[in-house]
Structure 1
Amino acid sequence: MDKKKQWVVGITVVFAFFVLTACGSQGDEAGAESNGNVEEKEVGVAPGPYGEMTTEVISPLLEEKGYQLTVQEFNDYVQPNNALDGGQIDANLFQHSAYFEQFIADNDLDLVKLQEVPTLGMGIYSEEINDLDDLSQGATVSVANDAVNLARTLQVMEDNDLITIDGEVDETQASIDDIDENPKNLEFKTLDAAQLSRSLNNVDTALIPGNFSWSADLDPDEALALEDLKEEYKNIIAIPASEENSDFAQALDEVLESQDFKDAIEDSKFKDFEKPAFWEE
C-alpha cells in the first residue's frame, strides 16, 4: 500500500473511532437519563384496592415527576406503620385518619399524614336477606375481630338502628362490650377481617370493610347498607415526619391534589369511591 492510501485508511479509522465513541457516549447518557431520573419508592398497603390504586393511577402520574411506586402488601394493620417508622418503606396507604392518629400516639411513632385518597367504605352484606328489616331476632352477624375495623362496624350498626354504643369507642381497643343495647339479640361471630366475606354462607349477615369486600368481588350496589364514610375514616397516605418537606413528599402531594388525579380516578374502577372533602372545595 502506498503512503497516500495508508494516510487515507488511517484518517478513516480515526474518524470511525471518534464517531463510535461519541455514539456510545450519547447512548450511555441517554440510558442514564431514562433510568437515573426515575427513583423507585415503596408503598406499604393492606389487601384490597389501594395497592391497585397506587400502581395503576398514582404511580403513572408520579413518574412524570421522577418517581415510580412499587407496593409491599402487609396482612395486618400494625406492620405498615412500624415498617414506615423503621425506614423499610417510603410511604403507606391502608388506614384512615382516626386510626392513624391513635396508633402513632399510642406507639410514639414519628409519622405524618400527607393526603387523603378516594375510599371504599364498609358494607353490610348477606346471602340470606334482601333488607335489614328482615333481620330476625337472634340472627348471626360476623364482624371483624381487630379493634380498628370493629370500631367502625359498631358505628355502622348503630347508624342502621341495629345496636346502640356505650359512649365513645376507642379506635384501638374496641370490643363487643362497647355495645349498650342489642334489641334484636344479635349473635356476633368475630373473625379476622380477611375471612368475613367467606363467612357469608354461614351467617345471616356480615359487615365487611371496603378493602376486603373489594378483594372478594362483592358489589357495593348489592350491600344492605353502606357506611356513611366520615372524613376521619377516609384513607390517607402517610410518610415519615423527617420526609415531610422532601422532594418526594412534595411531588406526591401535588399529584394527589391535581386535576389529573381526579380525572384518572373518574375514568377508573375506583370512580364510585367516596372522595376527599377537599375535592369539592
Structure 2
Amino acid sequence: MRRNTKWGLALAGILLVLIAIFGLSRRSQTQASDSKLQTVTIGVAAGPYGDMANKVLGPLLKKRGYQVVTKEFNDYVQPNKALNSGEIDANLFQHGLYLKTFAKANHLKLTAIAQTPTLGMGIYSKKLSKLSQLKAGATVSIPNDPSNLARALQLLAAQQLITLKKNIDVTTASKADIATNPYHLKFKTLDAAQLPQSLTNVAITVVPGNYSWSAKLDPSKALALEKLNDNYKEVFVVKTSKQNSKFAKAVKSVLNSKAFKQAIAKSEFKDFDKPTAWQ
C-alpha cells in the first residue's frame, strides 16, 4: 500500500510538472503570436461604435494581423483632427455627411472606406407601448441642434405624426417647416444628451443613436426607428493617403465579410440599420 501511495504521489507530481510546462509553452506561443500583430488605434466617441470596434471588428482584424486599440474622444471634432495629424490610424464615430462637411470646412484629407451598421434615431417612451396610443396635445421632446432636429422631424413625418412642407431641403428642416400637426403635438427642444432623461416628463422622445445607446435604451423596444439614407450611415475613416494601405484593405474586407455580418446578427448591434452594400 505504501509503495502504491508513493508511486501515486510521484505520478501526480510528474503530471503537475507536465501541466505547468504545457501551460508555459502555450502562454509563450500566444505572447509570441501577439507580438507579431500590428497595433492600430481607432478613434471613437461615446456610444456603440467603440463597443463594435472592440467586440466585433477587433477580433476579426486580429485574424488578419492587427491588434485593435480604441481611443475615446469627448467631442466630434478631435477624432478627425487626430486622424489627420497621424495621432490615430482610423476613426469610427461619424456618418458620411458629417465627414464630408467637416473635412471640407477644415481642409482635411480624410476618406470613408466603408459603412458600418448604424443605430438610427429612435422614438422612445415610458408611457406608451405603441404610437397609436399617442393622444392629441401630447408633449414630444426633440433635439435642439439643427442636424438632429431635421432628422427628428423627418422621423415623425415618416410615422405620419406630422407633415413637412413640400419643396424644402429636409436635411435643414426646422419646426417652421411643419405643414400640418394633426395631433397638435407640443414640441420641447432639448440638448440631445438630455433627451433620455426627459422620458418621465413627455409622452415620447426622439433620441439620436449615440445618446440612446449611452442611456441603455434598447433599440428593439423603440416605438419606431429611423430608416437611414446613405448620408447618415456610419463610416470607417482613414487618411486619404492611406486608403489603399494593407490595413485599409483588411478593414474593407472584414466589414464586407460573411463573418462580420454573422457576428453582428448575433450581437447587441443586430437591430442597427445595415450598410447599403449589404442590401
Shorter-chain TM-score category?
A: 0.7 to 0.9
TM-score (norm 2): 0.79
* Change in 2 beyond 3 A, CA 1:229/1:264: same
Which structure has the larger Rg? 1
Amino acid of the residue matched to residue 263 of structure 1? Q
Per-residue CA distance 1:86-140 (angstroms, 9 max, x = gap): 3332211122223322332333321111101112222111122333233334322
Q: Displacement, 1:165?
A: 3.2
Distance 1:272 1:234 in 2: 14
Amino acid of the residue matched to residue 275 of structure 2? P
In structure 2, the partner of 1:200 is 199
TM-score (norm 1): 0.79
Amino acid of the residue matched to residue 93 of structure 2? F
Query: Secondary structure of 2:127's partner?
Result: coil
In structure 2, the partner of 1:221 is 220
* Change in 2 beyond 3 A, CA 1:70/1:151: farther
Q: Displacement, 1:269?
A: 2.2
Distance 1:163 1:53 in 2: 34
Query: Secondary structure of 1:70's partner?
Result: strand
RMSD value, Cα? 2.5
Do the aligned partners of 2:227 and 2:273 also contact (CA within 8 Å) in 1?
no
Moved more, 85-94 or 198-207: 85-94
Query: Secondary structure of 2:76's partner?
Result: coil
Per-residue CA distance 1:175-229 (angstroms, 9 max, x = gap): 4444444343433222232221111012221001223222222222322211122
Do the aligned partners of 2:126 and 2:203 also contact (CA within 8 Å) in 1?
yes
Amino acid of the residue matched to residue 226 of structure 1? L
* Change in 2 beyond 3 A, CA 1:235/1:184: same
Aligned residues: 250
Do the aligned partners of 1:145 and 1:190 also contact (CA within 8 Å) in 2?
yes
Amino acid of the residue matched to residue 48 of structure 1? G
Distance 2:100 2:43 in 1: 17
* Change in 2 beyond 3 A, CA 1:157/1:106: farther
In structure 2, the partner of 1:168 is 169
Query: Secondary structure of 2:46's partner?
Result: coil
Q: For 1:123-202, what aligned pairs fall within 5 Å after superposition? A: 123-166=122-165, 167-170=168-171, 175-202=174-201
* Change in 2 beyond 3 A, CA 1:221/1:56: closer
In structure 2, the partner of 1:20 is none
Distance 2:213 2:31 in 1: 40
Distance 1:174 1:132 in 2: 22
Do the aligned partners of 1:48 and 1:211 also contact (CA within 8 Å) in 2?
yes
Q: Which runs of 4+ in 1 moved over 6 A?
A: 29-32
Amino acid of the residue matched to residue 213 of structure 2? W
Distance 1:183 1:109 in 2: 45
Query: Secondary structure of 2:268's partner?
Result: coil
* Change in 2 beyond 3 A, CA 1:123/1:55: same
In structure 1, the partner of 2:10 is none
Distance 1:265 1:144 in 2: 28
Distance 1:83 1:177 in 2: 37
In structure 1, the partner of 2:75 is 76
Distance 2:119 2:254 in 1: 20
